[in-house]
Chains A and B, each alone.
Chain A
Amino acid sequence: MGSIAAMPEIARVTLRQLLGRRRTLLLVLLSTLPVLLALAFRVAGETEIERFSRRIFDTISMTILLPLVAILFGSGAFGAEIDDGTIVYLLAKPVPRWVVVASKALSAIAIAILLTGGSTALAGFIDMVPAGGDGVLATEAQVLAMVVGSACYVSLFLALSLFTRRALVIGIGYMLVWEGALSLMLPGIANLSIRQYSLGAATAIYNLPLQETRLSAETAFLLAGVLVVASLAIATWRLMRFELPGGSD
Chain B
Amino acid sequence: MTTEPAPGTAAPMPPSAPAHEPETAHEPEAAILLSHAARWYGNVVAVNDVSFSLGPGVTGLLGPNGAGKTTLLHMLAGFLAPSAGEVRVLGRSPNRDPSVYRQIGLVPEREAVYPFLTGLDYVKFNARLQGMPDADRAAREAIARVGLEDAMDRQIGTYSKGMRQRVKVAGSLVHNPQVLLLDEPFNGMDPRQRIAMMDLLGELAEAGRTILFSSHILEEVEQVGTEILVMVAGRLAASGDFRAIRALMTDRPHTIAIRSSDDRKLATTLMGDPAVFAVELTKTGLSVQTAQLGVFRRLVARTSRDAGVRLLEVVSSDESLESVFDYLVGR
Residues of A within 8 A of B (CB): 1-2, 5-6, 9-10, 13, 16-17, 20, 84-86, 88-97, 240-249
Residue of B nearest to A246 (CB): B71
Give, as a whole number of angstroms, the nearest-CB distance from B298 to chain A: 39
Q: Name B111-133 residues within 8 Å CB distance of A.
A: 112-114, 116-117, 125-126, 128-133
Query: In the complex the two chains form, what is the Cα distance from A93 to B177 in whole Å?
Result: 12
Inter-chain contact B79/A249, CB cutoff 8 Å: no
Interface centre among A16, A93, A245, by most B CB within 10 Å?
A: A93
Give the B interface residue count (CB, 8 A).
44
Residue of B nearest to A96 (CB): B98
Inter-chain contact B106/A92, CB cutoff 8 Å: yes
Inter-chain contact B128/A9, CB cutoff 8 Å: yes
Which A residues touch B109, using CB under 8 A? 247-249
12 other A-B residue contacts (CB within 8 Å) besides A92-B104, A249-B66, A249-B214 = A16-B114, A85-B112, A89-B113, A89-B125, A92-B106, A94-B130, A243-B79, A245-B74, A246-B41, A246-B80, A249-B63, A249-B65
Partner of B106, one of A84, A88, A243, A246: A88
Inter-chain contact A93/B98, CB cutoff 8 Å: yes
Query: In the complex the two chains form, what is the Cα distance from A247 to B72 in whole Å?
Result: 11
Which A residues touch B131, using CB under 8 A? 1-2, 5, 94
Q: Name B23-66 residues within 8 Å CB distance of A.
A: 39, 41, 46, 63, 65-66
Binary per-residue interface labels of chain B (122-146) against chain A in the complex, 1 for a CB within 8 Å, 0 otherwise: 0001101111110000000000000
Inter-chain contact B71/A249, CB cutoff 8 Å: yes
Query: In the complex the two chains form, what is the Cα distance from A9 to B129 in whole Å?
Result: 8
> How many cross-chain pairs have Cβ atoms below 8 Å apart between A and B?
105
Binary per-residue interface labels of chain B (80-105) against chain A in the complex, 1 for a CB within 8 Å, 0 otherwise: 11000000000000001011111010
Which B residues touch A9, using CB under 8 A? 125, 128-129
Which B residues touch A84, using CB under 8 A? 110, 112
Inter-chain contact A88/B110, CB cutoff 8 Å: yes
Which A residues touch B80, using CB under 8 A? 243-244, 246
Query: In the complex the two chains form, what is the Cα distance from A13 to B79 in whole Å?
Result: 22
B5, CB-defined interface residue at 8 Å: no
B68, CB-defined interface residue at 8 Å: yes
Which B residues touch A13, using CB under 8 A? 114, 117, 125
Q: Which 9 pairs between the two chains have the least Cβ-Cβ distance?
A: A246-B71, A85-B110, A249-B70, A244-B79, A247-B70, A93-B129, A1-B131, A84-B112, A94-B101
Which A residues touch B129, using CB under 8 A? 6, 9-10, 90, 93-95
Which A residues touch B209, using CB under 8 A? none
B225, CB-defined interface residue at 8 Å: no
Partner of B96, one of A90, A240, A246: A240
Query: In the complex the two chains form, what is the Cα distance from A96 to B102 in whole Å?
Result: 12
